Chain A
Amino acid sequence: DAGVIQSPRHEVTEMGQEVTLRCKPISGHNSLFWYRQTMMRGLELLIYFNNNVPIDDSGMPEDRFSAKMPNASFSTLKIQPSEPRDSAVYFCASSKSGTGNQPQHFGDGTRLSIL
């Protein structure tokens, strides 16, 4: 079975540019999570969706960040405009439910570098 698929794997762009990260969750999973990982702050939950509806976006750093889930098989995380401090690895994960009684399945991440 295919796991969580993220694209691109690497993105290098100049500050001010719009960045779009993509995620395809595991089929049948109804919860999707976006995380950001840095050395300084570790793994941070940005937002999570349940049945395509955003449930908790309190981790989204600021208005420059937005996430959508138009259907059960696709989600995007957009940064506009991007800044150097947004450089990090961004992970998408999915699970059968949004509660902590189910394991989360992670993609391999998008390594984002903002110059």
Chain B
Amino acid sequence: SQQGEEDPQALSIQEGENATMNCSYKTSINNLQWYRQNSGRGLVHLILIRSNEREKHSGRLRVTLDTSKKSSSLLITASRAADTASYFCATDLLNNNDMRFGAGTRLTVKP
């Protein structure tokens, strides 16, 4: 069963704009990860954030985690057409180590 839920389901922006995707989950977690999936390919890991961390950066990516609200956000700054993909959050539950993925946000960046 899915643990995380991404919001919005789909997002369309112009190149150069920022894209923000949100993930909410139901039960306490150890870690939360964000992945990207290009059409016809497997998922690629982007960032892992631990439950005791509040923010992490990697290049143009910024991830925040609010454990009190059970939510995370992924911000992509200065988006490019090549950022067009689906983005998934994945959580591992506090008492169960396997990962559960959300339904994903489909991001389209128009050139």
Interface residues of A (CB under 8 A from B): 4, 33, 35, 42-43, 45, 48, 55-56, 91, 93, 98-109
Contacts and interface: CB of A to CB of B under 8 A. Distances in A.
B104 A103 contact: no
B87 interface: no
Nearest to A42: B103
Contact of B98 (A98, A101, A106, A109): A98
B24 interface: no
Q: What's the interface size class on B, roughly?
A: 20 to 34
8 contacts: A33-B98, A33-B99, A35-B101, A43-B43, A43-B104, A102-B48, A106-B42, A106-B44
Contacts of A101: 30-31, 48, 50, 92
Nearest to B41: A108
A98 B92 CA distance: 10
B54 interface: no
Contacts of B103: 42
Nearest to A91: B42
A91 B43 contact: yes
